[in-house]
Amino acid sequence: MCGIVGYISKKENPNTLKLGLEALKRLEYRGYDSAGFAFWDRNKKEIVCQKAVGRIINLEKKVNNNYTSVFANPLILHTRWATHGGVTEDNAHPHFDCQKNIYLVHNGIIENYTELKKELLKEGHQFSSDTDTEVVVHLIEKFFQGNLEEAVRKALSRLKGTYGLVIMSKKDPNKIVAAKLGSPLLLGLGEDEFLIASDPAAVIAHTKKVIYLDDGEIAIITPDNFSILKEKQPEEIEWELEETQRGGYPHFMLKEIMEEPGAIENAIRGRLVEEEGVVKLGSLDSMTERLRKMNRLVLVACGTAGYATQVGRYMLEEYAGIPAEVDSGSEFRCRKSILSKDTAVIFVSQSGETADTLASLKEVKKKGNLTIGITNVVGSTQARETDVGFYTYSGPEIAVASTKAFIGQLTSLALLTVYLGRQREMSLIIGKRIISELKKLPDLAREILKQTPQIKEITKKYKDFQNFWFIGRKYNYPIALEGALKLKEISYLHAEGVGGGELKHGPIALIDENFPTVALCPSDSVYEKMFSNIQEIKARKGPVVVIATQGNEEIKKIADDVIYIPKTLEMLTPILAIIPLHLFAYYMATLLGCDVDKPRNLAKSVTVE
């Protein structure tokens, strides 16, 4: 969940700290409770360490340009999302040993830290934080005999849990040591400089050539060279620097909503063969025979990606004719899963680093079932660990609340449906029909975005309400859940999603004139049922905002407000219906003065359990 940066260079660059802080800011979306850095000051022959509670800006204010002429090299930095220990300066990283010789930053969780701490305390080590991380630095201190990597190696053998670690020492100052197990870490190879980071966003301003560390690897980086336990080829980051910047928008979230039509285009580009009604999906072609035999699918993901899989389940069952079920990563990993040999498990994740999803993947791999990954981040753990898979290509998503990546996931699941469906009973006509509708989607999404000012006005009318229902059925039931999640994540209002049919089994008790509902009611196979649900709410004086299909005038008679979306195939409606809900959540949060891109208590990638 945290962001890590390390820097070491041959260049005599006095702006290193500024450079490091800039790189760290690109990771702030991963955690923003507190931040800190440590660097080797060659002239004073000491390690300088500073920390501050809150955003990176607080750290910058504290530093107050103090080190502009100092050659901070090597340098390690961290932005924290608290797990063990409250949000205090002491708990912020870097952590250090008793003698203040060794400093490290960590992402992940050390599960056996209580017993290690007991042992280290007995041996006389003094702790200055409540974190799990601090045991690592004391263990390194315990094993240090002049060579940092040797001490790190010994310390790692005592750890249980997950880590991305970047370490430096005053006693071996000309190097950085990095280690990875279960938390992402990559090495950027710049010109006469190396960066180590938990996320490509931190390094692309300097280089696009990176090496992703694998679990269990240790990297030793000096100003001239680096070595990793095994020989590895560099890969290219496919993102552009501009994509990780706000580009004139007040928030990343708004920029990313505006990129939603592009996310659909990116997902379908080069993959549709309309005349044959088929879809090409990269590495899946290497497993066609095995995929053909699959008679059951399980889709595993968390949060927003989980709601995408719920839509995907409906698509796959209806159009590919394969029984499918859905589970959240956090549940799947804990329960006994009965997977027959012809069951494939599909993992969906924007980051490809979500701990619960990855733990589920690990479990499935142990059982030997075919694993399929749908991921946005190229080179992420999920992308590398699944047997086959394909990318959503939504581009970097920086706002904590997922928007365009969700659209990319829904589109990708529609592609997978055609891919698997055409291997089975799906006819040429249906394959062609879905493909032709998919091609129209980016323009239809643009039409919705043209209504942004009207959606903003509608949102204003609801800004004083404290509670919201979101209702939908069938394909748009998961969209109701996602609409509610988005609103609560960034505006902190109470919002719940519920199936339209479930309303009268309990939730309707809450409806009155102070409890508005956002109803997904496109003209599809469940339109009449949704229409009745809206009437039931109106009969109890509940205000209703309806997402309806263009041309539906009837709905205006019962709705307080209507947002129209264009007509498309029923299975693709969710890809359009979610767009106004993204805007609704965004404007609600801005009207309430919330920090849209970095909502409280959340982080972009949930890399801990």
The verdict on whether 2 is a catalytic residue reads yes
Give the angle subtended at the CA of 302 by the CAs of 298 and 578, to the nearest 5°. 100
Contact status: 350 vs ligand AGP (CB under 6 A): yes
State in angstroms the smallest separation of the CB of 410 from ligand AGP. Answer: 13
Instruction: Report the residue from 47, 48, 116, 606 that binds ligand AGP according to the rule CB under 6 A.
Output: 606
CB of 549 within 8 A of CB of 444? Answer: no
Contact status: 263 vs ligand AGP (CB under 6 A): no
Nearer to ligand AGP, 193 or 385 (CB): 385
Contact status: 305 vs ligand AGP (CB under 6 A): yes
Instruction: Report the residue from 50, 351, 459, 568 that binds ligand AGP according to the rule CB under 6 A.
Output: 351
Query: How far, in Å, CA of 44 to CA of 455, rounded?
Result: 58
Q: What are phi and psi of 395, to 5 degrees?
A: 85, 170
Nearer to ligand AGP, 16 or 354 (CB): 354
Site string for ligand AGP, 384-423 (x = CB under 6 A): ----------------xxx---------------------
Nearer to ligand AGP, 162 or 304 (CB): 304
Nearer to ligand AGP, 210 or 305 (CB): 305
Instruction: Report the residue from 309, 337, 343, 349 that binds ligand AGP according to the rule CB under 6 A.
Output: 349
CB of 119 within 8 A of CB of 89? Answer: no
Contact status: 9 vs ligand AGP (CB under 6 A): no
Nearest CA to 212 out of 194, 201, 199, 193 is that of: 199
Task: To the nearest 10°, report the CA torsion of 378, 220, 107, 122.
Answer: 160
Region from 47-55, 227-235, 249-257, 598-606 binding ligand AGP, contact rule CB under 6 A: 598-606
State in angstroms the smallest separation of the CB of 348 from ligand AGP. Answer: 7
Nearer to ligand AGP, 72 or 237 (CB): 237
Burial class (CB within 10 angstroms; exposed 0-12, middle 13-18, buried 19+) of 97: buried
Nearer to ligand AGP, 302 or 581 (CB): 302
Which one from 2, 432, 521, 567 is the annotated catalytic residue? 2
CB of 460 within 8 A of CB of 555? Answer: no
Contact status: 183 vs ligand AGP (CB under 6 A): no
Contact status: 455 vs ligand AGP (CB under 6 A): no
State in angstroms the smallest separation of the CB of 415 from ligand AGP. Answer: 17
CB of 475 within 8 A of CB of 570? Answer: yes
Region from 74-82, 150-158, 343-351, 588-596 binding ligand AGP, contact rule CB under 6 A: 343-351
What part of residues 465-494 is at the interface with ligand AGP (CB under 6 A)? 489
Q: Across the chain, how many H-helices and E-strands are there?
A: 18, 26
Contact status: 302 vs ligand AGP (CB under 6 A): yes
Total residues at the site for ligand AGP (CB under 6 A)? 16
Q: Closest residue to ligand AGP, Cβ-based? A: 303
Contact status: 605 vs ligand AGP (CB under 6 A): yes
State in angstroms the smallest separation of the CB of 322 from ligand AGP. Answer: 23
Nearer to ligand AGP, 351 or 369 (CB): 351
Instruction: Report the residue from 354, 371, 411, 459 that binds ligand AGP according to the rule CB under 6 A.
Output: 354
The verdict on whether 51 is a catalytic residue reads no
Q: What amino acid is encoded at 570 in this protein?
A: E
Query: How far, in Å, CA of 500 to CA of 203, rounded?
Result: 46
Q: Could you tell me whether strands 72-80 and 34-41 are parallel, antiparallel, or unpaired per DSSP bridges?
A: antiparallel
Three-class DSSP labels, 359-423:
HHHHHHHHHCCEEEEEECCCCCHHHHHCCEEEECCCCCCCCCCCCHHHHHHHHHHHHHHHHHHHC
Nearer to ligand AGP, 207 or 605 (CB): 605
CA distances from 293 to 287, 325, 344, 388 (A): 10, 17, 10, 15
Which one from 180, 486, 567, 604 is the annotated catalytic residue? 604
Residues ≥6 apart with Cβ < 8 Å to 194: 7, 8, 9, 176, 187, 188, 221, 226
Nearer to ligand AGP, 258 or 558 (CB): 258
Contact status: 380 vs ligand AGP (CB under 6 A): no
Query: How far, in Å, CA of 156 to CA of 142, rounded?
Result: 12
Instruction: Report the residue from 3, 36, 303, 373 that binds ligand AGP according to the rule CB under 6 A.
Output: 303
DSSP state at residue 330 = H
**Percent helix, strand and coil across the chain, each rounded to 5?**
40, 25, 35
Q: Could you tell me whether strands 186-189 and 176-181 are parallel, antiparallel, or unpaired per DSSP bridges?
A: unpaired
Instruction: Report the residue from 304, 386, 568, 607 that binds ligand AGP according to the rule CB under 6 A.
Output: 304
Query: Could you list the active site residues?
Result: 2, 604
Residues near ligand AGP (CB under 6 A) are 302-305, 349-351, 354, 357, 400-402, 489, 602, 605-606
